[in-house]
Structure 1
């Protein structure tokens, strides 16, 4: 297999901070959408203080695609003033096949693509996972409780493929890649089904967000992380990285998981990223972490990534440049 030239090295590879630890609704009932620029700046100061130079606004915090053009410009100018680049935009729980809101989520996803193109973000992450259930919201770790499932219905599968293909073609017009997030009980709930899904979509700019952390954290039997990565690595694009400890008791059948830093969890990211690089992976990363000070752990994860990414840009890229 001939892989494309690598355009980044460990020093400048885009590694973004996620904003999952910041809610969209404030304690006083206001939405982050309505905050002043100064209030946005106060939040982003945390990101800057932990050493990040890239940011994914993550629409569970701020929906850039739903800001007015003037407000969007204000946010982008603010990020620039803080030396924060925006290489990608991630969406969360806005499935285009949601039985109630699928049409609205599809329209929103088109706006996200257009917004990404407008601000110079080259990647968009989409998922087919639904909203948290009340039981998941009440649990200490939401992934310990089963949530919404994509239906075992070939017609709904075809609908999902058609809608993602529609979005992929739209993104292609702007040179934006779409990365589909692996997530339990969705059509990207296993490595094999993820590969099948993106193969059915059949567009070169549509790949897999190899977020195996979403799967190895489940309190149920799952495929070994290495087997998953081996299958999805050739299709990997914008990648959410996080890790977990996982304890399996073969006697009782009990399975317990807990968030962990990238270098100490069950997934060996040195190996996983190496496999993706062998297949020409050349997209940004997003650091996520649940529990505790997720932003600080994400910053440590960023530093770990910079230690294991390639030291130099490949010579063929330098020649082409």
Structure 2
């Protein structure tokens, strides 16, 4: 059992993006570029990162570059408890086969980095309207095709078999308008996959930020926490004016947003949650907010585990 200080809590590195200073892809950049970005995190007291494929896609690196990444990571004093895939759906009509192969490669790589979880989801590339919006979630995005649900179940079960064989977990990230876009849909999908190595990533921040009706987060978490094995954790403000029908939302540090994470994290521990946390934040000084959020989670854990 982890203590509050030893619990794996990573910073998601997606705030750095995938573009290197020279305009090329970060995966092709010199290791010194990776090191400089890792050092920014380390200087904030962050000791663990999640190398999401929205930053450095490990599955697309050659074996030699993977080892270069590993040496850079160790040189900066960082470790990896989880690896996330972002907008890389295994049932994407154009790239699903590629993304499935990349998920398998990450499952092979994860144990060598000490990662206990590989996170996948069914969200897909941003639409042009989303890319142009102030906040991408304010525009309508991808909706999963019900006709591909059986294929999605088959491919997640295949990945679950692989995950189990290498001793890691597979987590499914909740995201609106996908097969796991609501708590009930997520649990139903997980039941249909029916695999001990597969759990949920209850990233309900993805839902709370939407400008649409939404159950209270306490009720949503009550449904999914018992099935969760990993957690992208972030918070937002949320408001609704019944006179005009207008919603508002914006990213907030964990401590100040709409979701009461002191209560929810304690409830997660009571429900048996033992997975890693991965802190995310959009806008402003994302990395600085993440560093503060990590310390907040540790304080809540210290209280909950006392």
The two structures have a TM-score, normalised by structure 2, of: 0.97
- Please state how far the C-alpha of 1:242 moved relative to its aligned partner: 0.3
Equivalent residue, structure 2, for 1:50: 44
Which region of structure 1 is more displaced relative to structure 2, 22-31 or 184-193? 22-31
Mapped contact 1:57–1:89 kept (Cα < 8 A)? yes
Asked if 1:123 is matched to 2:131, the reply is no
Partner of 2:264: 272
* Root mean square deviation of aligned Cα: 1.3
The superposition leaves residues 53-76 of structure 1 with CA deviations (integer Å, 9 ceiling, x where unpaired) of 101111100011111112111211
| Cα drift, residue 27 of structure 1 | 4.8
Q: Deviations over 1:152-201 (max 9, x none)?
A: 33xx1111111000001101001110110010000110000001111111
Encode CA deviations 1:71-110: one digit per residue, 9 max, x unaligned.
1112112211222111110000000111111111111111
Q: 1:218 aligned to 210, 222, 232, which one?
A: 210
1:230 matched to which residue of 2? 222
Mapped partners of 2:20, 2:47: distance in 1: 25
| Partner of residue 24 from structure 1, selected from 8, 18, 38 | 18
Equivalent position of 1:137 in the other structure: 131
Q: What is the aligned partner in structure 1 of residue 4 from structure 2?
A: 10
Residue ranges of structure 1 left out of the alignment (5+ in a row) = 1-6, 315-321
Q: Secondary structure at the match of 1:129?
A: coil
Cα distance between partner residues in 1 of 2:106 and 2:280: 20
1:127·1:182 contact (CA, 8 Å) conserved in 2? Answer: yes
Indicate if the aligned counterparts of 2:58 and 2:66 stay in contact, CA closer than 8 A.
yes
Q: How far does residue 312 in structure 1 lie from its aligned partner after superposition?
A: 8.8
Aligned-partner Cα distance in 2 for 1:313–1:270: 12
How big is the shift at 1:224? Answer: 1.2
Runs of 4+ in 1 over 4 A off after TM superposition: 311-314
Q: CA shift at 1:310, angstroms?
A: 3.8
1:41 paired with 2:39, answer no
- Structure 1: distance between partners of 2:214 and 2:149: 22
Q: Distance in 2 between matches of 1:75 and 1:281?
A: 30
Higher relative contact order (CA closer than 8 Å, sequence separation 6+): 1
State the Cα distance separating 1:124 from its structure 2 match.
Answer: 0.7
* Residue 166 of structure 2, aligned match among 155, 174, 180: 174
| Alpha-carbon distance between aligned partners in 2 of 1:313 and 1:76, rounded to the nearest angstrom | 33
| Matching residue of 1:251 | 243
1:257-304 per-position Cα deviation (integer Å, ceiling 9, x unaligned): 000010110111112112221121111100100001100001111110
Contact map agreement 1:191 1:231 (CA 8 A) in 2 = yes
Count of residues in correspondence between the two structures: 306
**Contact 1:9 1:312 (8 Å CA) reproduced:** no
Contact 1:9/1:311, CA 8 A, preserved across alignment = no
Comparing 65-74 with 179-188, greater Cα deviation is found at 65-74
CA contact (8 A) 1:15 1:54 kept: yes
CA distance in 2 between counterparts of 1:127 and 1:121 reads 18
Equivalent of 1:190 in 182, 185, 192: 182
Kept in 1, the 8 Å contact 2:86–2:120? The answer is: yes
- Corresponding residue SS for 1:21: helix
* Distance in 1 (alpha carbons) for counterparts of 2:183 and 2:30: 42
State the SS of the aligned residue for 1:84. Answer: coil
Show CA shifts across 1:232-255 (max 9, x none). Answer: 011111100000000100111100
Identify unmatched segments of 5+ residues in structure 2. Answer: none
Deviation at 1:120, TM superposition (A): 2.0
CA distance in 1, matches of 2:5, 2:304: 9
